[in-house]
Structure 1
Amino acid sequence: MKHRNKSLTAMMAAGTALAVALTGCSGSNGTSVDTSTPAPAGAAEAPKDGKIVSSPLTLSYFVQMSGNPAPGVKSYNDMAAYQETEKKTGIHIDFQHPATGQEKNQFNLLMASGSYPDVIEWGWGDYPGGGVGAMNSGVIIPLNDYIAKYAPNLTKLLTDNPEIKKAISTDDGRIFAFPFLRSDPYLRTYFGLGIRQDWLDKVGLKMPETIDEWHTVLKAFKENDPNGNGKADEIPLLIRKDTMLNFSNVFLNAWGISARFNLDGGKVIYGPIQPKYKEFLQTMRNWYKEGLIDRDYAGTDDKQKDAKWTGELVGVSELAVGGGIGKYTTAMAGKNPKFSLVGAPYPVLNKGDKPVLGQVEPIFNSVGAAITKNNKHVVETVKWLDYKYGQEGAMLFNFGIEGKSYTMKDGFPAYTDEIMKNPDGLSFATSLGRYAVPFGGPFVQDKRYQEQNAALPQQQNALKTWMDVKNDGWLPPLSFTNEESTRLAAIMTDITTYRDEMFDKFIMGAEPIENFDKYVKTIQGMGIQEAIDIQEAAYKRYLKR
């Protein structure tokens, strides 16, 4: 665990330093490093107009569209940041966007075709063997030498922040993609528990901290008609099943484990077979039996969740800071002035303890733009991608166009009213999507984006609350060999399916908690120890990078 603590601390320090670097990406003389920077030795001389190419060049690029596209934005070529980048670099991009909801299927079809575009932007952790597997299978190429010669902006970031280089490199030191980087700890937490503060006030209770206090609050929400409609229709707790099992463990974390692999005393464990998991299941079973958990938790989708929140039926749920706290607070402002939704601390077992595990993203979460073997213009592509890591490119993709989507106020890029108070009623993310895409892509995300995305006091306080977690039990992003990845997929596909099925059976009472040991033996028989050993070996390699 000491190794993990040192690594996490170093990464957070590196991220803070990187946030400073983002505001300038400057050389020692204070001048910014962009495409106009003299090319390193071995690179072709840049055109005198500062563009990357002297004659038109088109590159093909596979990437899914982020969020809800703004009206008229059918491709990233309709986005101002990319239009401006084309003017600056002279390179046109032929974007290939998979259909919404079909992203993974179309990515798999693309991989099977053997005919690849020049660039593929993807979460490479989903590829068999990750970025290592994609390089070893010949889909994408290693980028180390190209970055060193033709990407001065990214090179400077990696030189100034060794932990960033460690995070984006494989165990053998290769870099497989231009990464999306969350440069500051403030950017890596955006999700947690939300609770109706006005309901708490109405039932006369304080913000719960322990599991026992949470039970008291949820019971009061059920029995005391906090929505004031005279009906016993309150849903004290709505937790999506996928969230409970795969994302942020909003209640399971109180026991110091996750629903997947995590660290315990520096060793890799699989949470769902630990004795503590049985205690968690028993608690959730009791709450479900008492009617404290939504009866339809397993089948509730996003639209249904929205309807329950805006219908004033829900007291507590897992929420994103923008798409939850911000969305519902804004939606209810005119309907119910007393509506007060705030971030709640992750629960603990004992009063005064600090939460053990919460939602936190790594600096690099495997999402990045990789160059494929079919690319005939690698050097030009590298220079084009590197533009986003310079000051000019970073401002474009985080904030858009000065004077239109943002204005500089005392050195701070403040989004305009078109973004913050859109006259057409578009959300922050949608209106900003006409100009920039700070939610993800091969560049460094700027803290100042999130400070405005989460501009409401309720959102800012929620982030502070959700960040107050130890989080030293999470595994860093790991690299697996092709053989390891194949075995992990073969083992964990069946185990995960069985875990999910048994979760519902235990919670709903179809399977008695007394059968937990039988459930554990079943998972052990499915090869979980081999999967743990693979994770442990990959973790040890990570520590030696």
Structure 2
Amino acid sequence: MKKPVIALSGIMLGMTALLAACGDDGNTTGASGNSNGDIKMTPVGTYPIVNEKATLKVFTKQDVNVENYETNEFTKWYEDKTNVKVEWEVVPGSAMKEKLQVKLAGGDLPDVFMSSGISDSQLVGYGSQGLFLPLNELIHQYAPNVKRMIEKAPYLSYYLYAPDGKIYSIPNVGETFHATMPKKLWIYKPWLDKLGLQVPTTLEEYYNVLKAFKTQDPNGNGKADEIPLSGANGTTNGNNEIESFFMQSFLFYDRSNYLMLDNGKVEFSADKPAYREGLRYLRKLVQEGLLQPDAFIQDRKALTALAEDPAGSRLGSATALYWGNLSIDNGPSGRYKVYVPVPILAGPDGKRYGFDRGYGVDNGAFVITKDAKNPQLAMRWIDWFFNEDAKLAEGMSDYLGKEGVGWKKPEPGTKGLDGGPATYQMLVPFGTKNNFRWSQTAPRFQDLSFRNGIAATKEAETEVRLQQITKDYYKPYSAAERYVPHMYFSDEDLAQFGDIQKSITTVVQDFMLKFVTGTLDIDKDWDKYIKELENAGVKSYTQIIQANYAKLKK
């Protein structure tokens, strides 16, 4: 059967299109069972997957809330359920990018990569080279839950299909809107209260608060040791980078690509006059000692040390997805409770341009490699994770843990996040280190109804609080219509795009840091910056995106 190329189109591909896209990449022996070499599987949808013990080599990122994957209670439960034993290779998040690249280049491949930060260019590049297997037929024959997800979430058509029409990865999908608006700012309320200040709503009000934090000794120790504003570098996945929040007061700003839509046209954002004004504001904060220069280069651990100083918090405010990315969530100091949200601050024109992705998709979440001994087994193994309702009915969840331990069925009348009936109630809060669940290790499909089904109780405080905060402080300023949707590129475009994007990112980040810290002058050296962007290929970059976006809209 010829495999059609599914181009960069916005067609909402449901089950019919999935079947049409399938090739002959898998084997089946009919309803009685599946055979792959010397392994015989049970019928799809039944467990165990195999009657004789099988193994699966899994390469994954360490979830900081999981103590030990080998001895984890869910690991043991799922091994008993499937009769598949996992051979783990677990890598700390800080080392993942380097370790992944070494793994891909060295040829010593696991059966699967799971939650390993595989990029789009790696998916397409290594997929076309044969290192990653096409999953179309494997999904069709062995993954009914994944197929159901594709039908329920038509926006996945932007993410699933490479330009050659093949699926090289199963994504992790979440429809919780607080995670799709991750650029937030938090301020230490005890200092506001001591100084008789309110949560600011404009850039000018915020500037005045920072001045008060710096000059009026809000921690009361008689020393000028307060840090009014800080953050962390953009490599820790906590959305701690400073400029992403503050640029929302000036223009739509997507740090991943520096692109935005303006009346249907793709525009580069990091050369606009509004971007320049954002840099001026940040420069002013650094110049007056209100913004810690280390905020652009330090890691999250250093940021947390400021908030959790044993002598008392030294951190007045910080950028982060949530309070646990700057303090210790559920920590003994309790300071995580009193970092309160600051809305997107009204900018010079009174407007706000909230970064909003609309839905959360981690595209490279599950990849089967060419060295997988049993690709069908790997697909059967992962499919279970994509049915949250079945997990609750079964009394066990990778995300929540065992019923009665990590969660329970709520009492009648208990409300969920949206005010409707709750379907599950947390017993152990998110962010708690444990050895009975995988937390956010495995990819899954959590649609909005599932996320809203969590009981709005104390144990779900993080989810309840963050959902409400996003709804009240950030969602009203959503500029989702300016978000450039995900797209893949042809081999020809990809050959140019990857190098150009890397060069442009380097230029933007390098000059941003130098402008804000004063190494370069925003006025005198601006033309130099624009010239460097031109040399990096910014014109070709936007042209490639525009051409492919036009295809999406056809």
TM range (shorter): 0.7 to 0.9
Residue 539 of structure 1 is matched in structure 2 by 549
Q: Which whole-Å CA distance do the structure 1 matches of 2:102 and 2:151 have between them? A: 37
Residue 54 of structure 1 is aligned with which of 30, 51, 54?
Answer: 51
Q: 1:458 to 1:118 in 2, by over 3 A?
A: closer
Deviation at residue 317 of structure 1 after TM alignment: 0.6
Larger RCO, structure (CA 8 Å, separation 6 or more) = 1
SS in structure 1 at match of 2:531: helix
Q: Are residue 102 (structure 1) and residue 95 (structure 2) matched?
A: yes
Residue 22 of structure 2 is matched in structure 1 by none
Deviation at residue 270 of structure 1 after TM alignment: 2.5
Residue 251 of structure 1 is matched in structure 2 by 246
Deviation at residue 460 of structure 1 after TM alignment: 5.0
Residue 304 of structure 2 is matched in structure 1 by 306
Residue type of the partner of 1:237?
L
Deviation at residue 84 of structure 1 after TM alignment: 1.4
Deviation at residue 65 of structure 1 after TM alignment: 1.7
Deviates more, 1:290-299 or 1:148-157: 290-299
Residue 503 of structure 1 is matched in structure 2 by 512
Residue type of the partner of 1:372?
T
Aligned length, in residue pairs: 492
Residue 415 of structure 1 is matched in structure 2 by 426
Q: 1:85 to 1:376 in 2, by over 3 A?
A: same
Residue 362 of structure 2 is aligned with which of 339, 360, 365?
Answer: 365
SS in structure 2 at match of 1:409: coil
Q: 1:385 to 1:172 in 2, by over 3 A?
A: same
Q: Are residue 208 (structure 1) and residue 218 (structure 2) matched?
A: no
Report if the CA contact (8 A) 1:397-1:438 is conserved. Answer: yes
Q: Which whole-Å CA distance do the structure 2 matches of 1:94 and 1:442 have between them? A: 18
Deviation at residue 360 of structure 1 after TM alignment: 4.7
Residue 228 of structure 1 is aligned with which of 220, 241, 247?
Answer: 220
Structure 2, unmatched stretches of 5+, are: 1-9, 15-28, 36-40, 412-421
Q: 1:430 to 1:197 in 2, by over 3 A?
A: closer
Deviation at residue 78 of structure 1 after TM alignment: 2.2
Q: Which whole-Å CA distance do the structure 2 matches of 1:166 and 1:257 have between them? A: 21
Residue type of the partner of 1:439?
Q
Query: Deviations for 1:162-188, whole angstroms, at most 9, x for unmatched residues?
Result: 223444333554322222111332443
Q: Which whole-Å CA distance do the structure 2 matches of 1:93 and 1:413 have between them? A: 28
Q: Which whole-Å CA distance do the structure 2 matches of 1:247 and 1:384 have between them? A: 40
Residue type of the partner of 1:343?
P
Query: Deviations for 1:452-478, whole angstroms, at most 9, x for unmatched residues?
Result: 554387645433324443132222232
Q: Which whole-Å CA distance do the structure 2 matches of 1:398 and 1:68 have between them? A: 11
Q: 1:49 to 1:366 in 2, by over 3 A?
A: closer
Q: Which whole-Å CA distance do the structure 1 matches of 2:98 and 2:325 have between them? A: 28
Residue 182 of structure 1 is matched in structure 2 by 174
Query: Deviations for 1:275-303, whole angstroms, at most 9, x for unmatched residues?
Result: 21211111212222222111433443323
Q: Are residue 147 (structure 1) and residue 145 (structure 2) matched?
A: no
Residue 135 of structure 1 is matched in structure 2 by 127
Q: Which whole-Å CA distance do the structure 2 matches of 1:385 and 1:324 have between them? A: 29
Q: Are residue 157 (structure 1) and residue 157 (structure 2) matched?
A: no
Deviation at residue 241 of structure 1 after TM alignment: 4.6
Give 1 or 2: higher helix fraction: 1
Deviation at residue 245 of structure 1 after TM alignment: 9.7
Residue type of the partner of 1:414?
Q
Q: Which whole-Å CA distance do the structure 2 matches of 1:298 and 1:247 have between them? A: 7
Q: Are residue 462 (structure 1) and residue 478 (structure 2) matched?
A: no
Report if the CA contact (8 A) 1:164-1:363 is conserved. Answer: no
Residues 319-398 of structure 1: matches in 2 within 5 Å? 319-321=320-322, 323-324=324-325, 327=328, 330-333=331-334, 340-349=338-347, 353=351, 355-358=352-355, 360=357, 362-390=359-387, 391-393=389-391, 395-398=396-399
Q: What TM-score do the two structures reach when normalised by structure 1?
A: 0.80
Q: Which whole-Å CA distance do the structure 1 matches of 2:497 and 2:273 have between them? A: 23
Deviation at residue 194 of structure 1 after TM alignment: 0.1
Structure 1, unmatched stretches of 5+, are: 1-6, 15-37, 421-427
Q: 1:449 to 1:368 in 2, by over 3 A?
A: farther
Q: Which whole-Å CA distance do the structure 1 matches of 2:526 and 2:340 have between them? A: 36
SS in structure 1 at match of 2:185: strand
Q: Are residue 480 (structure 1) and residue 489 (structure 2) matched?
A: yes
Residue 85 of structure 1 is matched in structure 2 by 78
Deviation at residue 450 of structure 1 after TM alignment: 10
Q: Which whole-Å CA distance do the structure 1 matches of 2:464 and 2:145 have between them? A: 35
Residue 275 of structure 1 is matched in structure 2 by 273
